[in-house]
C-alpha cells in the first residue's frame, strides 16, 4: 500500500469520526407497500412557516417527483391537481372531506396533503414539512367506487363538505412530519448518504456545499426523506392487526 493510499484512508476515517458514524452508503429508492401499481397526487403545500419566500408549487413538484421515483407508484402533474381543485371551487384542502372529493375527481388511489412548517433558504438551510396521505377504497391502496362527480362538486362547496360525500373514513391513513436543519450533524449524515446516490459529482465537502447553497437541491433532499418515511408509515399501517383482519374479511365470498 502506497503512502498516498494510506493518507486517503486516514482522511476518510477522520471524516467518519467527525460525523460520529460510518461513511454513509448510497440511498435506495423507496418501495411502495401496496400490491400492484398505484397512482398518487400531491396537493400544493400550505405555507405555515411564517416566511413569505416559500414556493409552495415548487415544493409540491419536488414531492411529486420523489413519489414518481418510488417503485410501484405513479403520479399526476401538480398543475393538473391545481386545475382540478379550481374546478371544484377549492383554493386549498381544508378538510378530510375536501381531500376525498379531490382524490375521487382526480381518479387517483392516494392524495398527499401537507404544509411547509419551517423555511430558511440561507446556508445552512432549514426546511420542515408535514404530510398526510388520504386513500380510498380497499385498504391495500386500491381505489373504490367512483361517485357522481357533480355530487362531489356540490359536497365540496358545503361547510365541512359532509353532505353527499361517499362513505369513507375521513381521516388520513398516515401522517408524518420532519424538520431538517442542515447545521444538525445527524441531518448532515443523511445528506451525505443522499449525495452519494443523487449528487451531481459524487460525495464530498464541495458537493455538500452545492446542496446547502441551493434551496432547490435541498428541497429535493428533504422530499426524498419525507417520501421514504411516508411509505414506511403506510407499510406499518397496512401491517396492523386491524387492517389484516379487514383484509381477510374482504377476501371472503
Question: Total structural domains in the chain?
Answer: 1
Residue 147 belongs to domain with CATH number: 3.40.50.10610
Domain contains 190? yes
Domain contains 106? yes
Domain contains 12? no
Domain contains 220? yes
**Does the structure show a pLDDT above 60 at 4?**
no
Lowest pLDDT segment from 2-11, 52-61, 101-110, 126-135: 2-11
The pTM for the full model equals: 0.74
Domain contains 214? yes
Each residue's pLDDT tens digit, 165-176: 344 457 899 999
Domain contains 86? yes
Domain contains 226? yes
Each residue's pLDDT tens digit, 112-165: 999 999 999 999 999 999 999 999 755 444 443 333 344 334 433 433 333 333
The pLDDT of residue 8 is 39
Contacts of 131 by beta carbon, 8 Å cutoff, 6+ apart? 63, 112, 113, 114, 175, 176, 177, 226, 230
What are the cell numbers at 81? 391537481
The pLDDT of residue 204 is 66
Domain contains 66? yes
Each residue's pLDDT tens digit, 201-246: 666 677 888 899 999 999 999 999 999 999 999 999 988 765 544 4
Lowest pLDDT segment from 16-30, 121-135, 177-191, 216-230: 16-30
> Rounded to whole angstroms, how far apart are CA atoms 41 and 111?
5
Range of the domain at 53: 27-250
Query: In which residue are the cell numbers 452545492 written?
Result: 210
Amino acid at each position: 500500500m502506497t503512502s498516498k493510499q494510506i493518507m486517503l484512508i486516514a482522511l476518510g476515517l477522520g471524516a467518519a469520526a467527525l460525523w460520529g458514524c460510518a461513511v454513509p452508503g448510497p440511498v435506495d429508492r423507496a418501495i411502495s407497500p401496496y400490491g400492484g401499481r398505484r397512482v398518487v397526487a400531491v396537493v400544493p403545500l400550505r405555507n405555515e412557516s411564517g416566511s413569505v419566500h416559500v414556493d409552495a408549487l415548487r415544493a409540491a413538484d419536488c414531492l411529486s417527483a420523489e413519489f414518481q421515483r418510488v417503485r410501484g407508484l405513479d403520479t399526476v402533474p401538480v398543475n393538473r391537481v391545481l386545475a382540478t381543485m379550481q374546478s371544484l371551487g377549492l383554493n386549498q384542502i381544508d378538510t378530510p372531506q375536501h381531500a376525498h372529493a379531490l382524490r375521487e375527481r382526480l381518479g387517483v388511489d392516494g392524495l398527499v396533503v401537507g404544509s411547509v412548517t419551517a423555511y430558511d433558504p440561507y446556508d445552512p438551510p432549514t426546511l420542515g414539512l408535514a404530510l398526510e396521505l388520504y386513500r380510498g377504497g380497499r385498504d391495500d391502496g386500491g381505489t373504490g367506487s367512483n361517485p357522481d362527480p357533480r355530487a362531489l362538486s356540490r359536497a365540496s362547496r358545503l361547510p365541512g363538505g359532509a353532505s353527499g360525500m361517499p362513505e369513507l373514513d375521513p381521516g388520513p391513513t398516515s401522517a408524518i412530519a420532519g424538520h431538517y436543519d442542515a447545521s444538525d450533524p445527524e441531518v448532515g449524515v443523511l445528506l451525505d448518504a443522499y449525495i452519494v446516490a443523487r449528487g451531481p459529482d459524487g460525495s464530498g465537502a464541495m458537493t455538500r456545499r452545492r446542496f446547502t447553497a441551493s434551496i432547490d437541491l435541498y428541497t429535493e433532499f428533504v422530499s426524498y426523506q419525507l417520501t421514504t418515511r411516508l411509505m414506511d408509515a403506510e407499510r406499518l399501517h397496512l401491517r396492523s392487526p386491524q387492517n389484516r383482519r379487514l383484509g381477510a374479511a374482504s377476501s371472503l365470498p
